[in-house]
Amino acid sequence: MDAKVSALLNDQINKEFYSAYLYLDMANFYSQKGLDGFANWYEIQAKEEQDHAMLIYQYLQNNGEQVTLEAIAKPDKTYETPMDPLKAALAHEQYVTSLINTIYEAAQVVKDFRTTQFLDWFIKEQGEEEKNSMDQITKMELYGEDARSLYMLNSELASRTYSAPSLVL
């Protein structure tokens, strides 16, 4: 594998684990606010991010590449209102999309089509994650000010269940 593509993928493992940590911190914020449904949603999101990291870890190993695990940064955002993590999550997913696009582009330049095909799943996943984030912001804008509606929104998010990623290596 091209050294730059390999290094970018290795770095993405860290970014995905950081995403997990960031979402766990959001879940923690919602728990403290008594919004257990939002907490559930972000706890599951954190698990999905760990899955993303492990898929890349496995992909590098399957291709005989060296994996180096680096320190995971501390989530340093602070939140005041239930809307704050939602907006931070959207900005973060947009950032992750840009990272995936960068790796995709690097793989394309060196005609590493195995890696672009592997990343196709992530490209689609990023689309879904950005949409989920935008939908949550819209709902919060519409209903977040009203306690009864916020309660229902919280109940909706409480029903999310974890399922393993559809991509199998």
Per DSSP, the three-state class of 37 is helix
As a whole number of angstroms, the distance between CA 48 and CA 155 comes to 21
Nearest Cα residue to 7 out of 45, 80, 60: 60
Nearer to ligand FEO, 77 or 149 (CB): 77
AA letter at 143: Y
x-marked contacts with ligand FEO along 32-61 as a string, rule CB under 6 A: -----------------x--x---------
**Which contiguous run of DSSP H or E holds residue 21?**
helix 3-32
Closer residue to ligand FEO in complex, CB, 13/150:
13
- 25 binds ligand FEO, rule: CB under 6 A: no
Point out the residue whose Cβ comes nearest to ligand FEO: 52
Q: Considering beta carbons, is residue 111 or 127 the nearer one to ligand FEO?
A: 127
- Minimum distance from residue 139 beta carbon to ligand FEO (Å): 19
Q: How far apart are CA 169 and CA 159, in angstroms?
A: 29
Q: How many CB atoms lie within 10 A of CB 160?
A: 15
93 binds ligand FEO (CB under 6 A): yes
Q: Is 12 strand, coil or helix?
A: helix
Coarse DSSP helix, strand, coil percentages of the chain, rounded to the nearest 5 percent: 75, 0, 25
- Rule CB under 6 A: choose which of 96, 106, 153, 157 binds ligand FEO: 96
| Residue 144 or 165 having the CB closest to ligand FEO | 165
Positions touching ligand FEO (CB under 6 A) are 16, 19, 49, 52, 93, 96, 129
